[in-house]
Each structure stands twice: as structure tokens, then as C-alpha cells.
Amino acid sequence: MTEAASQSRLQPQPKFNIKQTFFIGLGFMSCMLAWGMYNFYFPRVLAGQIVKVGGIEQVFRVGYFTGDTRLLLANVIMTVDNLLAIFLQPYFGELSDRLESRFGRRTPFLIIGVPIAAVSLFALPFMPSSPAIWLMFLGFVTVLMLFNLAMAFYRAPVVALMPDLTPSVHRSMANVIINVVGGIGTAIGFILPTIMGAIPAVKNSMVGFTSFMEQDFLLMDIAVFWTTGGIMLVILILYLLLVKEVPTGTKFWHVGDHRIEFDSETLQIIPATKAISKIDGAKETTTTRKMKRYSMLKELRAIFKIKNKSAAFAFLAILFWSAAEDGFGTNLSLWGVEYAGLSDSFLSTLFIVMMLLVLVLGLPGAILSKRKGRLWTMRTGLIMYVACHAGIIVSQEIIRAGYFLPGFVITIVCFGLKALGGGLLAIAAITIIWQMAPKDKVGTYTGLYYVFKQTGSVVAPLIIGALLSLFTWLIPALGATGAWIILNPFCLAMSVIGYVAMVRVNKGEVGDDLSDEEVKELERLYGGDSD
């Protein structure tokens, strides 16, 4: 722990507004609700679903993609949201740092993004009714792109709102609350397709074991997509009623020339015409610097070239953590049913248990993080991911060998480790990044956090999809489902690399603020703000 971090413990700590933090989490909840449903349900829409009837593999639902490449192509489409996020979220995060609005600088992004995402979901079920399959697919992808654009538009700004209103010393605890609220959204999205599919009217309307054009999943798709979109709109209304962000302007939308900075002690806006610095304990007023056009590449160059590369290695650790997380999560429902012999109901129940673990152990995790430090917390989370995927490699083969009970028990333990590890990572990762961000670039660094997180989410499913298709083609004896054997070894490797990167990080604790020299070095490496 650094000297600055130790001294911060001796100073009086500002109060922590738990209720406000919970309400702020509603915006994140709408994000995670959509992505929970997206990751569980969309692979079946795209790649279909193969089930075993009397020991014989049969296609229950025909997806947009079929044949040996169905999983590869489905993973390509599933990464579109992450690909867009890589390029757009840093821009929208930086834009929100400068937004002048009577609703605050982050909230307008939700007011625009959530309704567009919901309307896109309302339209998706009707795409298969197009007269030609190429027109059907084109319409589906177009609406899906609109949904992904809307989600990318508001994710970074809504996440950046919490550090705007929360002192650094309380951000780990606040992040627990935010992630618990978001986790509830994820759980709802994850189990929603199972609940909708169990409704008698919906269940009886489904017609499978046929061709793409003759099958009927319209009512099922309407139930899943419309319910998700409706809940998102309800969450937005609650957010607008309960969260009152500090106004940054008089209009609804005006992007200023300068980033809006919050005072670290009062959490109030520092006027744009002034920049307050401290020299020998005295406050001094200086003129605001002219800001050059934002460049993500220049920002990354500065982060990776600065003498202390803790931020760079933290971003890399986040990338590989995300590769393990989403490489597994994107393929979870199909892997569980097609390879590991886990039913939808078992997976849904398991996910609920995981979320309960996060809820119950979130507060102890935050207290542990405060005592042991954020760096220890993130490293421990990655170790749990390593143990999880190593264990699943064993348990899935035990189940396939016919030893169901011991296999299920090991699988449950492994998923428990994954839940705990993911909870610890969620507590620590972004708070470490915020701690190493210049005070006027919290939104910008939030965007960069999602660049690395989403890059892992893009690359991992593509690599896994390619490996699945390659194994299916090279080893026909594996059948249509046997290639899933490579999924967990890949996720294990990503977790190990993430841990190795995290060992190189030595900043990010409470009090580890950037020194004036480090801020100046970042500006110089960026290309700088000119006076």
C-alpha cells in the first residue's frame, strides 16, 4: 500500500449515500437485463438448438445459420455489440464528460438510448415474417445493429455517474451495490426465456423439428423480447423519478468545449471558467486550458508509454478476464445443453444460485477489498476463475461418462467459484481504473475500461467459434456437439494470462491519485492540452 493510501485512512471520510447509489444502479440494471437475455437467448435464434431424442441428435430450433459453421457465424454476430462498443463507448464516455444539460451530463444518454433499445427489441420478433430469407436476415441484422448502437450509446455514461457522486474511499462499496443491482438485471434477463417458455400458451405455440420457414417460435420471441424491452422502459422511468443528477447546463443537450470536473471533496462541479489547483496548501485560480480533439489512440499511447505502466497492465488484465468471462458466457446455454448434459432449468437455477451468492457475499467482499486492497481483490478473483475452469474441464467429462451426481456437484462448486471471482473482479476492476484516471477524465477512462472489456468479449467468441468449426471439420468423430471440449481450456488459458498481467499492477488503491508530474507526463505523451 502506498504512503498516500495509508494517509487517506487517517483523514475524516465523507459520508456514503447508500440509497442514492442503489438508485444510480438502476441505469446499469437496464444494461445488464438486456445483455443477460441477449447472451442466453440469441445464440439459439442464430445457431438453433440441437437436442438428443432417444440418443439421436435432432435439430429442435433451426437458426439463421446451419451446418458446421453455425457456431462460428453465430459467434460473429454475437460479437457485433462488443465490436461497436470498442469504437463507440470511449467516444460517448468522453462526450459525457463535456455534456452540459439540465438533466446532468450522464442522464441524457439514458433518456435517448434506453427507448431506442426497447423499440428495437419490440421489432425483432417480426423479422422472420419477411417474404425472402435474405430480406429476413438483413432486417434482423439491421434491427440488431440499432439495438447494439443504443446500448453502446448509454453504457459508459451511466457507469461513470457513480464516481461523479461518490468519494474515492467509498467507491468499492458503491460498486458492490451497483453490481448487485446490475446482477439482479442479469439474472432476470438470463431466466426470462426459461420462464416465458414455461407459460402454457407460449409452450404450446412452439413448433420445432422442422425447417426454418415452417417452424413457429413467434409467440416465444415476442414474449422474451417484449418483456425485456418493457422492463427496460419501466426501469428508465424509475431512474428518472429517483435519480437527480447535478445539472451541468440549462438545455437538454449541449456539448461544451471543456471537460466538466467535480471537486474530489465536495463532489460539486468546478466552474468551466476556472481550474483549481493547490500550491503549498493555498488555492489558486487559473484559466481553463484549450482542449484538443479527443483521440482514443493517443490516450492509449500515453497510458502504455508512461513510466508507471500499472494502468496499462490493469487494462490488459481486464481484457483477458473478459475473454474468459464472455468466451464462456456467450456459449454457456449451448455448451450446457449440447455437451455437458445440463438442462435449461438446471442452468437457470444454477445462475440464480450464483446471483444469490453475489448478493449475500457482496458486502463481505467489499469489506475484504477495503482491508486487503483492490489489487489483492482482483488477483484473487482471477485465481478463482482459474480454479473454476480447471474444475469444469474435469466435471463435464465426469457427467458425460455417466456419473451425474459427482459431476453436478463439482460443476456447482465451480460455478460458485466463478460467481465469487466475478463478484470480486467487478468490485475492484473499474475502481482501480477510476483511481488512476485524471480527475477530469473519469468518463473517458470508463470508456477505455469498456474498450478492453469489450475487446475480450469480441475476440474470445470469435476464436472459440473458429476453433469449434475447425475441430468439427478436422475430427468428424466429435459430431456436431463434441467440439465443445475446447471451450473451458481456452477460458482457463485466458484466466491465467489475466492473472499474470495483474501481478504487474502496483497502483489503484485508495489514495493512489496521479501526481502532478504523472498528469503532465500523460498530457505530454497524449500530445497535450495547450495553454
478: cell is: 466429435
Give the torsion through C-alpha atoms of 137, 192, 89, 241, to 10 deg: 130
What pLDDT is recorded for position 13? 54
What pLDDT is recorded for position 45? 78
Within 10 angstroms of residue 53's Cβ, the number of other Cβ atoms is 9
What pLDDT is recorded for position 66? 66
412 is a domain residue:
yes
**Domain harbouring 74, CATH code:** 1.20.1250.20
7 is a domain residue:
no
Q: How far apart are CA 82 and CA 478, in angstroms?
A: 30
What pLDDT is recorded for position 199? 84
What pLDDT is recorded for position 530? 39
What pLDDT is recorded for position 277? 45
6 is a domain residue:
no
HSE value, Cβ hemisphere, 13 Å, CA-based, for 249: 21
501: cell is: 498481467
262 is a domain residue:
no
300: cell is: 492509449
| C-alpha separations of 208 from 50, 52, 203, 215 in Å | 11, 13, 11, 5
280 is a domain residue:
no
What pLDDT is recorded for position 278? 45
The DSSP line for 22-83 is HHHHHHHHHHHHHHHHHHHHHHHHHH-EEEEETTEEEEEE--S--STTHHHHHHHHHTHHHH
What pLDDT is recorded for position 271? 63
Q: Cell numbers 462488443 label which residue?
A: 82
Q: Cβ contacts of residue 55 below 8 Å, gap of 6+?
A: none
Q: Cell numbers 465490436 label which residue?
A: 83
Q: Estimate the share of the chain in helix, then strand, then coil, as percent rounded to the nearest 5.
A: 70, 5, 25
51 is a domain residue:
yes
Q: Residue 176's domain spans which residues? A: 19-246+294-526
In the chain, the number of structural domains is: 1
pLDDT in tens, the chain (531 residues): 444 444 444 444 557 777 888 888 898 899 889 988 887 788 777 777 666 555 555 666 666 666 666 777 777 777 766 676 677 777 887 788 888 888 888 899 999 999 999 999 998 888 765 555 666 777 777 888 888 889 888 888 888 788 777 776 777 778 778 878 888 888 888 888 888 888 888 777 766 666 555 666 778 888 899 999 999 999 999 999 998 888 888 888 888 777 777 664 565 666 654 444 444 444 444 444 455 566 777 888 888 888 888 889 999 999 999 999 888 887 777 788 777 777 767 777 776 777 677 666 666 777 777 788 889 999 999 999 999 999 999 998 898 888 888 888 898 899 889 888 988 898 888 889 888 888 767 777 877 888 898 888 888 888 888 888 888 777 777 766 777 888 899 999 999 999 999 999 988 887 777 777 877 877 787 775 433
Quick check: 446 and 90 in contact, CB under 8 A?
no
pTM of the model: 0.65
Q: How far apart are CA 386 and CA 140, in angstroms?
A: 37
Coil vs helix vs strand at 342: coil
Quick check: 88 and 458 in contact, CB under 8 A?
no
What pLDDT is recorded for position 363? 67
Q: What DSSP element (H or E) covers 229?
A: helix 218-242
Q: How far apart are CA 106 and CA 390, in angstroms?
A: 41
Q: How far apart are CA 51 and CA 58, in angstroms?
A: 5
Query: Phi, psi (5° rounding) for residue 269?
Result: -70, 135
258 is a domain residue:
no
475 is a domain residue:
yes
The DSSP line for 155-223 is HHHHHHHHHHHS-GGGHHHHHHHHHHHHHHHHHHHHHHHHHHHHSHHHHHH-B-SS-TTT-B-HHHHHH
HSE value, Cβ hemisphere, 13 Å, CA-based, for 437: 26
